[in-house]
A and B are shown apart, each in its own frame.
Chain A
Amino acid sequence: MKPPERVYFFGTCLIDMLYPKAGLAGMQLLRQAGIKVIYPKDQTCCGQPAFNSGYRDEALSVARSLIKCFPQNIPVVVPSGSCAGMIKQHWAELFADQVDAEAAAEIASRTYELTQFLVDVLDLKLKDLGKPVKIAVHTSCSARREMGVAEHIESLLGQLDAVELVQQERKAECCGFGGTFAIKQADISGAMVQDKTTSLRATGAERVISQDCGCLMNIGGAFDKQAQDKGKGPVTQHIAEFLWERTHASN
């Protein structure tokens, strides 16, 4: 595929209000690669939180408001495996038998998770301008299994000369976030993130990098909470922010 001149950026609701720097870094990476990035101002959420909680009518209303944001036939880039997965894998079910099913399917067909777009469409070449650092990658379950982009994040990181990638035990195991699962089954979620943070700490990584801010909110939040007993954990950071920090020219 020839790289497009323009793309839409769907920042996701989580990033919009909680991790805007991750979203902005994603947009800057794309702009640095010569792409015109459009950030539709009416965007809100893909509907996933309600869909995964069984509230499909509510999810549909919200997803419906989002499809109006991407009218032109250009790619929609999403800095999240889970939100991209919602659009690509679950919108068909959510919009089944609805008048706008076709519009939803059309948008899904041109939706990309950020690292997927950077690798598969742009074939992005990176030059590492940063200091040596040891990192671990936590690939979200949706990035891994719904979007199949576990290798994409690693291939981008592999281009960075001064970055050492270390492997945590049980890397592919879920961190325990799961959206409302973290609230509804708080103690199981707590036990899961405990295991995840333990295995990440054991690597000695200075940072934990992921394609999904949901996982980072969970893992990073747990590191913070544990700080008193176990000391400060690795810094958690979205892949876009990490890549931007290490590659942009003013570095």
Chain B
Amino acid sequence: MHQTEAFHQRIDKALHNEQARTSFRSTMSGLMQKRAAQFPDNDELQALRDQARAIRAHALTRQPELLEQLEQKLTANGIRVHWAETAQQANEIIYQILHAADAKTLVKGKSMVSEETELNHYLEQRNIEVLESDLGEFIIQLAHEPPSHIVAPAIHKNVKQVAELFHQFFPELGYTENIDELTLLARQILRDKFANADAGISGVNFAVAETGTLCLVENEGNGRLSTTAPRLHIAITGIEKVVAKLSDIPPLLNILTKSATGQPITTYFNMISRPRQPDEKDGPQAVHLVLLDNQRSSIRMDEELLDTLRCIRCGACINHCPVYVQVGGHAYGTVYPGPIGCVLEPQRLGLEKTGILTSACTMCGACAEVCPVRIPLPKLINRLRAESVNAARSEAHINGKGSLRKLTESQAWAIWRLLYASPRNYRLFRWFATRLRGLTPTRLGAWTRYRSSIKPAPRSLQELAQQEGFDHE
């Protein structure tokens, strides 16, 4: 099926899911209010955004050397570093590490990069038991669904659905729709798994080159348990997560948690710098970091699209997107939804596969207004629209350039140019449109599905202006 048709089918399904739409609307409204409450002083917010933007931009400029430094420091600290160019390679590396350590069961902290590589599926096929330990991820793992939001993966579900899901999988624990009791149930189930898992897998929010520190932001403590309780810890992240200095972390962390969930700080903030030392009583015996490229190097080569990589995955753009709130994350059909998804996924997966996502934007600018690192999201979406209809547009390394060009559409724009780039043609067109307005159809395709038809006025502004005695030069 062509991507456009598939996308419209998913949108149709999403728009008919009243329950999920109610969840999206109420959750997004709550997140927007909580974020706004964290930034009472606009000047301060703008200064913090400038600072965060500069830190991330600087890290991207110096990325190759920072990655080298990071590898050096991590290695000196006793953390093994692995490089993966593709998702497949990352999965293979992780499997090899697990295999060599004879690890059969693992607990996972939340990681969007592991969603990119579809790691769970890969490992499960090789008889490794994978358990998502983030509550939201745990819920959708039970439901066999992908995340619908990068920070709150199960927000498409309501309490009743979660209660039924838990009851289906753990009937012995009794049925409850009380959120606190449900959380407690999950905790009981997970505690036991933490204690007995062979390995833990986590993502990374920031990797500090200066010190070789892996920073992990979370709220539930599952990240800390996943990275400390099992004897083996494997972290996976994208290469763009590297930052230069430890002093870069406080401002980034500050704006990340406030932008994401409206929290001044998360409940847990982990800084992982080495495996267990001989005199220490806990912590993993071995720590590995898998650094995944997966098209990031290619995105980095274009001086405009490079801004995509500044993202710190707070999800604020998603929370404020008027399109996302209507359709939710699954409609996008990609790992990353919302504005950042519309920008990142077509570059990562190719315009020929996901370029249609760029059409899911009104250019309203709500995303760019809140982005903590000032990614000009609408501008990048616009650029990708241009790339997807014009193969000759630029030298950017994007797959599928020109793949969304349709003859009917390009001809329509050619006619538009013919009429609007020539004042004489336009005058003629306008004369006919205003004089023949009675012939305007009452149905105008998709437009009149939700609105009345559009009819030209009997006289144009140009004519009215002349009639009212306004000069024309």
A positions within 8 Å CB-CB of B = 9, 11, 13, 15-21, 23-24, 27-28, 31, 36-45, 49-58, 61-62, 64-65, 93, 141-142, 144-146, 170, 172-174, 176-179, 181-195, 217-218, 221-222, 224-225
- Residue contact A65 to B422, C-beta cutoff 8 Å: yes
- Residue contact A38 to B456, C-beta cutoff 8 Å: no
Bound complex: CA of A27 vs CA of B366, how far in Å? Answer: 31
- Residue contact A62 to B445, C-beta cutoff 8 Å: no
* Interface residue B333 (Cβ < 8 Å from any Cβ of A): no
For B392, give the chain A residue with the smallest CB separation: A57
Q: Which B residues are CB-close (under 8 A) to A41?
A: 423, 462, 466, 472-473
- Residue contact B420 to A62, C-beta cutoff 8 Å: yes
Q: Which A residues are CB-close (under 8 A) to B395?
A: none
The 23 listed contacts between A and B (C-beta, < 8 Å) are A9-B470, A16-B461, A20-B457, A20-B464, A24-B465, A38-B472, A41-B462, A41-B473, A44-B423, A50-B413, A50-B416, A52-B385, A54-B386, A58-B413, A141-B366, A145-B365, A174-B364, A181-B361, A185-B360, A188-B327, A195-B326, A218-B451, A225-B451
- Residue contact B446 to A182, C-beta cutoff 8 Å: yes
* Pick from A18, A28, A54: contact of B389, CB under 8 Å: A54
- Residue contact A45 to B364, C-beta cutoff 8 Å: no
Q: Which B residues are CB-close (under 8 A) to A193?
A: 450-451
Binding-face segment, B133-141, B145-153, B426-434: B426-434
Bound complex: CA of A191 vs CA of B449, how far in Å? Answer: 11
- Residue contact A20 to B421, C-beta cutoff 8 Å: no
Bound complex: CA of A37 vs CA of B387, how far in Å? Answer: 40
- Residue contact B457 to A178, C-beta cutoff 8 Å: no
B window 443-473: CB within 8 A of A:
445-457, 459-466, 468, 470-473
Bound complex: CA of A114 vs CA of B358, how far in Å? Answer: 31
For A63, give the chain B residue with the smallest CB separation: B421
- Residue contact A19 to B454, C-beta cutoff 8 Å: no
Given known pairs A52-B385, A182-B446, A192-B326, the reply for A38 and B15 (CB within 8 Å) is no
Q: Which A residues are CB-close (under 8 A) to B459?
A: 20
- Residue contact A27 to B470, C-beta cutoff 8 Å: yes
* Interface residue B46 (Cβ < 8 Å from any Cβ of A): no
* Interface residue B6 (Cβ < 8 Å from any Cβ of A): no
* Interface residue B382 (Cβ < 8 Å from any Cβ of A): yes
- Residue contact A141 to B363, C-beta cutoff 8 Å: yes
Bound complex: CA of A19 vs CA of B470, how far in Å? Answer: 18
B positions within 8 Å CB-CB of A = 8, 11-12, 15, 29, 322-323, 326-327, 358-366, 368-369, 379, 382, 385-390, 393, 409-410, 413-414, 416-417, 420-423, 426, 430, 433-434, 445-457, 459-466, 468, 470-473
- Residue contact B454 to A185, C-beta cutoff 8 Å: no
Q: Which B residues are CB-close (under 8 A) to A182?
A: 446-447
- List 8 extra interface pairs beyond A16-B460, A53-B385, A217-B454, CB under 8 A: A16-B462, A20-B460, A44-B426, A50-B417, A172-B366, A174-B366, A185-B11, A192-B362
For A42, give the chain B residue with the smallest CB separation: B423
- Residue contact B461 to A183, C-beta cutoff 8 Å: no
Minimum CB–CB distance for B180 against chain A, Å: 30
Q: Which A residues are CB-close (under 8 A) to B416?
A: 49-50, 58, 62
Q: Which A residues are CB-close (under 8 A) to B393?
A: 56
- Residue contact B326 to A52, C-beta cutoff 8 Å: no
Minimum CB–CB distance for A11 against chain B, Å: 4
Bound complex: CA of A165 vs CA of B250, how far in Å? Answer: 43
Q: Which A residues are CB-close (under 8 A) to B326?
A: 188, 191-192, 195
For A79, give the chain B residue with the smallest CB separation: B461
Given known pairs A16-B461, A38-B473, A41-B472, the reply for A56 and B386 (CB within 8 Å) is yes
- Residue contact B446 to A186, C-beta cutoff 8 Å: yes
* Pick from B362, B456, B464: contact of A18, CB under 8 Å: B456
- Residue contact A192 to B382, C-beta cutoff 8 Å: no
Q: Which B residues are CB-close (under 8 A) to A36?
A: 471
Bound complex: CA of A217 vs CA of B464, how far in Å? Answer: 20
Q: Which of B327, B388, B426, B445 has the most CB of A within 10 A?
A: B426
Q: Which B residues are CB-close (under 8 A) to A194?
A: 450
Minimum CB–CB distance for A140 against chain B, Å: 9
Q: Which A residues are CB-close (under 8 A) to B460?
A: 16-17, 20
- Residue contact B323 to A188, C-beta cutoff 8 Å: yes
Bound complex: CA of A226 vs CA of B91, how far in Å? Answer: 53
For A140, give the chain B residue with the smallest CB separation: B364
* Pick from B369, B382, B389, B456: contact of A145, CB under 8 Å: B369
For A12, give the chain B residue with the smallest CB separation: B461
CB-CB nearest 3 A-B residue pairs: A178-B362, A221-B451, A186-B446
